[in-house]
Amino acid sequence: MHLLGLYNYWVVIFLQMLGFYTLIARGNLVKKLVGLTIFQTSVFILFISMGKVSGGTAPIIAPGFHVYSNPLPSVLILTAIVVGIATVALGLALVVRIKEAYGTVEEDELYGRDERD
């Protein structure tokens, strides 16, 4: 039961490894960025999970409710999502420029071309 009760953390670890593996194993620069995004998203879920208080509601003061979830991790993650978007946007912009300069976005082909320069 204990293991199942922590299922959100299992999801986090699964996504983390999935993203990390994609980042390392894939040679396509766009797919690498997808892996990076999944990796970052897993951390967002980690933060949001830790803000949950059992039995707590959304942190809005209302009569009849005394237990609230911690809003701070969610707020932090809003910032981290913005950072993540900026990173991926910049990464994709670089991929576009690399495609223009080399005519490919496959890592092994890029490597081969630079050796000849």
CB of residue 68 to another protein, shortest distance in Å: 14
- 11 touches another protein (CB under 8 A): no
Contact residue for another protein among 25, 58, 78, 86 (CB under 8 A): 86
DSSP letter assigned to residue 109: H
Tokens 């237990």 belong to 67
**DSSP letter string, 19-41:** HHHHHHH--BHHHHHHHHHHHHH
CA-to-CA separations, 2 to 12, 50, 56, 78, in angstroms, rounded: 16, 16, 20, 30
Contact residue for another protein among 57, 67, 83, 112 (CB under 8 A): 83
Angle at 71 between CA 68 and CA 73, to 5 degrees: 135
Tokens of 46: 């980690």
- 110 touches another protein (CB under 8 A): yes
- 18 touches another protein (CB under 8 A): no
Shorter beta-carbon distance to another protein: residue 66 or 117: 117
CB of residue 63 to another protein, shortest distance in Å: 25
Contact residue for another protein among 13, 17, 25, 90 (CB under 8 A): 90
- 34 touches another protein (CB under 8 A): no
- 98 touches another protein (CB under 8 A): yes
Tokens of 58: 């959304």
